């Protein structure tokens, strides 16, 4: 029997991104993939929820922006303090913020069409940087984000953002063949230890 997967994300911008880009990649593996914006939930309730997910034999991944922390290890230490019993292998740190993952996936031709700079990397892109880059033709940042998601390129994002690449490669999230059958991520070997419980929890 397939397990359920819960993706705990920080807010509405994350919900849009994971719902459109990441959920379709995970859906074939699980009986269901559910998105939960945990930032608005009391920490004790989140801890109890994570414990119940494991007790029921299901899986979860918790995503958090690195924000102002010096490195991934420091951010994880904060999350260990916030959420009782959370496993470091179930945490993915977004560097710096989810906006950097959005912008990383803009293909060159789309960026040029929208009058945006083509960035070699978005590793250091912050929410404020992202907001400054929004073209005046868009009524809101949400409209801009939806436009990005329409053209989002997984391969482009993998090249331009290190934390996104880590996430995609760690969990072997090959894009659907209909998007780009030539993608190098279509033939990743299976992880013998299980695709959702790998990696060094200290990093």
pLDDT in tens, 19-63: 999 999 999 999 999 999 999 999 999 999 999 999 999 999 999
Q: What angle do CA 22, 24, 26 make, to 5 degrees?
A: 75
Residue ranges of domains in the chain, CATH in brackets: 1-94 (3.40.50), 97-160 (no CATH)
Cβ contacts of 52-60, under 8 Å, gap ≥ 24: 53/4, 53/6, 56/4, 57/3, 58/3, 58/4, 58/5, 58/6, 59/3, 59/4, 59/5, 59/6, 59/30, 59/90, 59/196, 60/5, 60/6, 60/7, 60/8, 60/90
Residue recorded with tokens 């801009």? 144
Reported confidence tier of residue 174, pLDDT bands at 50, 70, 90: low
**Contact partners, residue 44, CB within 8 Å, separation at least 6:** 84
pLDDT of residue 198 exceeding 60: no
Cα distance between residue 18 and residue 98, in whole Å: 10
Number of H helices, E strands in the chain: 10, 4
What's the pTM value of the predicted model, to 2 decimals? 0.85
Reported confidence tier of residue 1, pLDDT bands at 50, 70, 90: confident
Q: Which two tokens stand for residue 21?
A: 């880009």
Mean pLDDT calculated for residue range 65-80 = 95
pLDDT of residue 186 exceeding 90: no
Tell me if 203 sits within 8 A of 73, measured CB to CB.
yes
Residue 102, CA atoms < 13 Å, CB-side half-sphere: 28
Residue 200, CA atoms < 13 Å, CB-side half-sphere: 4
Higher pLDDT, 126 or 185: 126
Output b/e per residue, 117-132; b: 16+ Cβ within 10 A: eebeebeebbbebbee
């Amino acid at each position: 029997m397939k397990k359920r997967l819960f993706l705990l994300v920080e807010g509405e911008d994350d919900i849009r991104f994971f719902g459109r880009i990441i959920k379709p990649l995970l859906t074939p593996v699980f009986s269901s993939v559910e998105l939960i914006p945990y930032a608005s939930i009391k920490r004790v309730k989140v801890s109890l929820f994570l414990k119940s997910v494991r007790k029921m034999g299901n899986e979860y991944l918790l995503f958090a922006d690195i924000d102002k922390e010096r490195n991934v290890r420091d951010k994880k230490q904060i999350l260990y303090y916030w959420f009782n019993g959370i496993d470091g292998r179930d945490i993915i740190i977004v560097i710096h913020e989810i906006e950097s993952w959005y912008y990383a996936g803009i293909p060159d031709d789309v960026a040029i069409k929208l009058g945006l700079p083509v960035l070699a990397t978005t590793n250091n892109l912050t929410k404020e940087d992202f907001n400054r880059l929004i073209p005046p033709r868009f009524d809101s940042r949400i409209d801009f984000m939806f436009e990005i998601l329409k053209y989002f390129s997984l391969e482009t994002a993998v090249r331009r953002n290190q934390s996104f690449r880590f996430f995609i490669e760690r969990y072997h999230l090959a894009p659907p063949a209909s998007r780009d059958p030539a993608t190098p991520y279509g033939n990743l070997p299976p992880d013998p230890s299980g695709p959702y419980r790998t990696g060094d929890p200290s990093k």
